[in-house]
Amino acid sequence: MRVEQGHTVTTNDARKRGLRRDLIEMRNSLPLSDVSAAGSVLSERALQLRELAEARTVAAYVSIGREPSTRALLDRLREAGVRVLLPVLLPDNDLDWAAYEGPERLVKAGRGLLEPAGPRLGPEAVTDAGAVFLPGLAVDRRGLRLGRGGGSYDRVLARLERAGATPALVVLLYDGEILEEVPADPHDRPVQAAVTPSGVHRFTERPADA
Report pLDDT for 148: 87
For residue 34, the tally of other CB atoms under 10 A from its CB is 13
Report pLDDT for 10: 62
Q: Which CATH architecture has domain 31-202?
A: 3-Layer(aba) Sandwich (3.40)
Report pLDDT for 46: 96
Report pLDDT for 210: 45
Q: How far is CA 189 from CA 44, 80, 168, in A?
A: 26, 29, 12
Report pLDDT for 209: 45
Please list the rounded mean pLDDT of every run of 10 residues in the chain (210 residues). 47 89 95 92 95 94 95 96 97 97 95 94 98 97 92 95 97 96 88 96 66
